[in-house]
């Protein structure tokens, strides 16, 4: 899945900044002019099902400390 984050020029050109998410590996990538400038882990929220950047504070843990659910920032509010 590719999400362009930039101004729309009306043509068939790509935005200067592009966010790509590999849902098989759950890795997000930020590209500028087609070059990868950042990679980050993403996770699927167990409540709303959106794919968001991983925030380890979102894990709900069982009594033994094992993470059982992950909630995005919006669902934790």
pLDDT tens digit string along 3-27?
A: 555 544 555 665 799 999 999 999 9
Residue 28: count other Cβ atoms within 10 Å of its Cβ. 21
Structural domain boundaries, residue 19: 2-76
Q: CB of 21 within 8 A of CB of 27?
A: yes
pLDDT tens digit string along 32-68?
A: 999 999 999 999 999 999 999 999 899 999 999 898 9
The reported pLDDT for the residue numbered 77 is 86
Cα separation, 1 vs 20, whole angstroms: 6
Q: CB of 41 within 8 A of CB of 55?
A: no
Number of domains in the chain: 1
The reported pLDDT for the residue numbered 56 is 87
């Amino acid at each position: 899945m590719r999400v362009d984050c930039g101004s729309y020029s009306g043509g068939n050109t790509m935005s200067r900044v592009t966010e790509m998410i590999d849902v098989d590996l759950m890795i997000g990538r930020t590209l500028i002019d087609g070059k990868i400038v950042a990679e980050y882990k993403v996770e699927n929220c167990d409540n709303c099902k959106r794919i968001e950047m991983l925030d380890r504070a979102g894990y709900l843990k069982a009594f033994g400390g094992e993470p059982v659910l992950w909630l995005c920032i919006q669902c934790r509010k």
